[in-house]
Each structure stands twice: as structure tokens, then as C-alpha cells.
């Protein structure tokens, strides 16, 4: 094994920061360093992590996706109503993902072919999809009901496999897949190129529109997956589910060292970013800090981390 150079260590500053953070918290609160608490943290961050993984693809191209929270809500609502009417879990699952993919593809089209800035385009879809969710649900929660499939559906968010919550497995699969795509495939290479220099990417013979459509579609699918998990866990879909989730996802991505202007970063950073936010929340909870202060602390951590990152560059 190669010895880590100082540059490499800098690159892993987040890991170092995270470990330091863990040590301090466990000294302050012994309850923190228990397996059950850890599984708890991981399950809590799974939603944000999955959305943030999709957001990483988008931000790497230099874009942004504000519509993920709304996508989560509509996908969950559609899954819930399908399950309630007795549809097979697999069909409901893929239907919900398809809805997410559709919204993402729509975003990608508007942004690439329509040449609308991503911020504006996804702001519009965010509002539009939230509006449609309210119309669809009549503003009321949709219960997954008591059909046979509801029981199976509940396992997605609530179930355990070998003592570990199912959402943790899903998160792991999503991150492995994202890592693979970004590191080893053509699409991954194109994503970094696009974020680094769009004009050069176009002149290199790459269909930049297609790459953009792909990343927003991925983001939409991941958001829908998060929608399925939360609906399963609550056994109902809330019309306001996912509000503000886009900001948590963006925070995790940027905290993980992915450049907001694109081209630099990756999903490993994002999982660490999501972990930092998750552990911070958990630790403050264990220490009985009020949720108002938690928000305050989260803001400070994000700001400090990003400033440190700037300084290193």
C-alpha cells in the first residue's frame, strides 16, 4: 500500500473531521457509541443520502435540482394509492420510480433543449409537482390501507434483514451504483467533463443535452425511491412530504466537497456529508438540545466546512 501523501490526507479531511467529531461526541455521551444508535443514525440519513446521491450527479454537471422534495411526495402518493387499491408491490414500486424518472426527464428536457437555467426550471417543476400532489391527494394523507400488499410494502421502510434496517441496504446499493457510474462508465466521464467545461464537452463530440437529461432523470428516480421508503415507513403518503429536502440534499453534497459549479467531487464525499449532518442531529438530540438550536448548529457546520474547503483550494 502506498503511503498517503499530505495532499491525499487533505483530500480526506472530511473523514478526519468526521472521526474527530465522533470521538468528541462519544466522550460527551456514552449512549452515542452503541450499535443500535448507529443503525438509527444510518436509517435516519438514508432518505437524505439517497436524494443527495442523485443531487450529486446533477451538481457535478454544474446544475441543481430543486424539485426532488416534490418528486418524493408525488411518487409516495402514487405508490400509496396503488398499494391501497391492492396493486402488487413490485408494480407500485416501479410505477413510483417511473413517475420520478418522468419528472427528471422533463426537467432535463426543459434545461437542455429549452435552455432554461436549472435553478429556474426545477423551481418551476418543484412548484408544479407540489401543486399536483396537493390536487391528487386532496391535501390529505393517503394511507397504504389494509390490503395484502400493504404489509409487504411496509417492509421496504420498516423491515429488517439480518438485524439491519432495509433502507440501509437500499442506500448502500444506491451509493455503490452511483460510485460505479461516476467512476467507471462513459456517462460518469461525460458528467465530469460537462461540469468542467460545457463548450469543450460539446466540441469533443458528446451529446451534452443527453447527459443533462440523464442526470436529472437519475435525480428524479432517486427522489422517487426516497418517496417510496418514507411512504412505506409511515404507512401513508403525506401531501407535504419532502418539503425542504432539496436543501438538505444540496447541503450534504456541498459539505461532501463537490464543487457547486460542477466538475469536481463525487458520491463518497456526499455520503460523508450526509453522515455529518445526520450525526450532528443525532448527537444534539441525545444531548437534549432543542431543535431550534440544532438548525443553528447545522448552518454553522455547513458554513465552516465549506469555508475550510475553499481555503484548501
Partner 1 sequence: MNNVILEMKGITKEFPGVKALKGVDFRVIDGKVMALLGENGAGKSTLMKILTGVYQRTSGEMYYRGEKVEFRNSKESQDKGIAIIHQDLNLISNLTIGENIFLGREPVNKFHKINWKKLFNDSRKLLEQLGVNEDPGGLLGELSLGKQQMVEIAKALSINARVIIMDEPTDSLTHKETLKLFEVIRQLKKEGRSIVYISHKLKEVFEICDYATVLRDGMFIAENSTKELTEDKIVELMVGRKLGQQFPRIEVKGGETALEVKGLKNRYLNNVSFKVNKGEILGVSGLMGAGRTELAKTIFGAIKKEGGEIIIDGKKIDIKSPEEGINEGISYVSEDRKENGLFLGLSVKKNMSISALKSLSKALWKIDGKEEESICLNFVKDMSIKTPSIEQMIKNLSGGNQQKVAIAKSLATNPKVLILDEPTRGVDVGAKKEIYDIINRFKKQGMAIIMISSEITEILGMSDRIMVMHGGEIMGIIDGGEATQEKIMGCAFGIKGVQS
The footprint of partner 1 (CB under 8 A) covers 184-187, 189-190, 192-193, 196-197, 199-207, 263-264
CB of 61 vs partner 1, minimal distance in Å: 13
Q: Of 119 and 184, which has the nearer Cβ to partner 1?
A: 184
Q: Of 11 and 189, which has the nearer Cβ to partner 1?
A: 189
CB of 200 vs partner 1, minimal distance in Å: 5
Q: Of 159 and 196, which has the nearer Cβ to partner 1?
A: 196
Q: Of 85 and 261, which has the nearer Cβ to partner 1?
A: 261
For residues 61 and 206, give the distance between their C-alpha atoms in angstroms, rounded to a whole number.
13
How many C-beta neighbours within 10 Å does residue 98 have?
15
Contact 51, 167 (CB under 8 A): no
CB of 28 vs partner 1, minimal distance in Å: 39
Q: Of 34 and 204, which has the nearer Cβ to partner 1?
A: 204
Q: Which three cell numbers stand for residue 285?
A: 438530540
Contact 67, 246 (CB under 8 A): yes
Q: Which helix (H) or strand (E) holds 242?
A: none
For residues 286 and 270, give the distance between their C-alpha atoms in angstroms, rounded to a whole number.
24
CB of 185 vs partner 1, minimal distance in Å: 4
CB of 57 vs partner 1, minimal distance in Å: 14
Question: How many Cα atoms sit within 13 Å of 173 on the Cβ side?
Answer: 7
Amino acid at each position: 500500500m502506498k503511503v498517503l501523501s499530505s495532499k491525499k490526507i487533505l483530500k480526506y479531511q472530511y473523514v478526519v473531521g468526521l472521526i474527530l467529531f465522533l470521538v468528541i461526541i462519544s466522550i460527551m455521551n456514552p449512549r452515542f457509541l452503541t450499535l443500535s444508535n448507529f443503525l438509527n443514525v444510518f436509517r435516519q440519513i438514508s432518505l437524505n443520502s439517497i436524494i443527495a446521491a442523485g443531487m450529486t450527479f446533477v451538481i457535478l454537471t454544474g446544475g441543481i435540482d430543486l424539485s426532488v422534495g416534490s418528486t418524493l411526495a408525488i411518487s409516495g402518493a402514487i405508490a400509496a394509492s396503488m398499494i391501497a387499491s391492492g396493486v402488487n408491490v413490485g408494480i407500485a414500486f416501479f410505477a413510483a420510480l417511473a413517475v420520478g424518472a418522468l419528472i427528471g426527464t422533463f426537467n432535463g428536457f426543459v434545461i437542455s433543449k429549452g435552455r432554461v437555467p436549472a435553478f429556474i426550471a426545477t423551481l418551476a417543476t418543484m412548484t408544479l409537482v407540489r401543486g399536483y400532489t396537493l390536487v391528487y391527494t386532496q391535501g390529505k394523507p393517503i394511507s397504504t390501507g389494509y390490503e395484502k400488499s400493504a404489509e409487504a410494502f411496509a417492509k421496504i421502510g420498516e423491515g429488517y434483514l439480518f438485524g439491519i434496517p432495509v433502507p440501509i441496504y437500499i442506500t448502500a446499493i444506491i451509493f455503490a451504483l452511483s460510485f460505479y457510474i461516476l467512476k467507471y462508465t462513459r456517462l460518469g466521464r461525460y458528467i465530469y467533463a460537462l461540469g468542467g467545461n460545457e463548450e469543450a464537452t460539446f466540441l469533443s463530440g458528446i451529446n451534452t443535452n443527453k447527459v443533462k437529461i440523464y442526470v436529472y432523470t437519475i435525480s428524479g428516480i432517486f427522489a422517487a425511491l426516497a418517496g417510496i421508503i418514507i411512504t412505506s415507513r409511515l404507512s401513508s403518503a403525506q401531501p407535504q412530504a419532502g418539503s425542504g429536502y432539496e436543501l438538505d440534499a444540496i447541503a450534504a453534497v456541498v459539505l461532501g466537497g463537490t464543487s457547486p459549479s460542477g466538475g469536481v467531487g463525487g458520491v463518497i464525499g456526499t455520503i460523508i456529508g450526509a453522515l455529518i449532518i445526520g450525526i450532528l442531529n443525532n448527537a444534539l438530540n441525545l444531548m437534549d438540545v432543542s431543535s431550534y438550536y440544532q438548525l443553528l448548529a447545522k448552518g454553522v457546520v455547513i458554513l465552516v466546512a465549506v469555508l475550510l474547503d475553499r481555503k484548501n483550494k
